Structure 1
Amino acid sequence: MDNVVVRDLKESDIDDLVEIEKLSFSVPWTKSAFIKELSNKLAKYVVIEHNKKVIAYGGIWLIVDEGHITNIAVHPDYLGKGLGNIIVESLIEKCRENKVLSMTLEVRKSNLVAQNLYKKYGFKPVGIRPEYYSDNKEDAVIMWKDL
């Protein structure tokens, strides 16, 4: 895609994130949750902007020497264009900049597209969190990557 900018999250981006959340997840994060993340010293978020609109984002918490991916989403109109790759690469770079040694995340057991994206970047499934997702009690696959 042409004319995309990857940058850190700004407060003015939050409405776009909320829109993407509602279109992407059955239990979306709220506007207030994202506002709290802006003041969370552990949280780092990156966005992809296209024509002055945020079309993808990802977040990570940097806790001591571990990076915990909180969420990654791409606006449905822009799926399949490699934006998920850019977000994952950006989060890995944030971890490297902050001397993080490993990264982790949870992903729905049924979300094979996301699991394959993470595997492409060296994440490995290491366990299951039973009934992790509140909307349908679906299990989460726990994945880890060493840096």
Structure 2
Amino acid sequence: MNPNILVRPMTTADVDGVMAVEKDSFATPWSRSAFEEELAQNRLARYLVAEENGQVVGYAGMWLVINEAHVTNVAVSGSRRGAGIGRLLMETLMGLARENGMGSMTLEVRVSNAVARHLYETLGFAETGIRKNYYSETKEDALILWREKL
């Protein structure tokens, strides 16, 4: 892991960098306003950025719902994938969820995303279901993963 990676809470000042990562990572990216609304208005939301030398190279987010953390998104800039940044973001999210009293965590992942699936498996997540045609642009299925004990 690069010691120059800093994981910290996302602010509205980070949205430009987050949008660059988002567009690099997803065929149907979230809009700028979606991130701005999450940061400003969603009391259940927690978002983090991974910063390297002052540049956003990844981000992750979750919603804290009753006693469960629901991961909304995790993305790392294409040029920095494979450097452990996704793992660092997820481990930090999991710690933040624990600090906020969450007992478990869930997320959806594309069936075809073998790299992410492997990461989540190594972090203790297990497949519990499938959402058919979840991703609207490709009609790809999503696997539902849970980690029961944080």
Aligned-partner SS, 2:62: strand
Question: Deviation string for 1:61-97 (max 9, x for gaps)?
Answer: 0001000000000001111100011001011001100
- For residue 92 of structure 1, what is the amino acid of its counterpart? M
The alignment-based identity, stated in percent, is 47
Q: Alignment partner for residue 41 of structure 1, among 36, 40, 43? A: 43
- Once the 2 structures are TM-superposed, how far is the Cα of residue 44 of structure 1 from its aligned partner? 0.2
Partner of 1:21: 22
Q: Does 1:110 align with 2:132?
A: no
Provide the rounded CA distance (Å) in 2 between the counterparts of 1:5 and 1:93.
Answer: 15
Identify the residue that residue 10 of structure 2 maps to in structure 1. Answer: 9
Q: Distance in 2 between matches of 1:88 and 1:5?
A: 13
* Alignment-derived partner of residue 145 in structure 1: 147
Q: CA deviation at 1:112?
A: 0.9
| 4+ residue runs over 2 A deviation | none
TM-score (norm: length of structure 2): 0.96
Cα distance in 2 for residues equivalent to 1:24 and 1:41: 26
Q: Which amino acid aligns with 2:76?
A: V
Question: Residues of 2 paired with 1:16 and 1:92: CA distance?
Answer: 23
* Structure 2: runs of 5 or more not aligned: none
The alpha carbon displacement at 1:141 in A equals 0.2
| Cα drift, residue 3 of structure 1 | 1.7
**Which AA in structure 1 matches 2:21?**
I
**TM-score, normalization: structure 1?**
0.98
Matched residue type, 2:7: V
> C-alpha displacement at 1:4, in angstroms?
1.7
RMSD over aligned Cα, in angstroms?
A: 0.7
User: Once the 2 structures are TM-superposed, how far is the Cα of residue 2 of structure 1 from its aligned partner?
Assistant: 3.1
Secondary structure of the 2:95 match is helix
- Alignment deviations for residues 40-77 of structure 1 (CA, whole Å, 9 cap, x no partner): 10000111111111101100000010000000000011
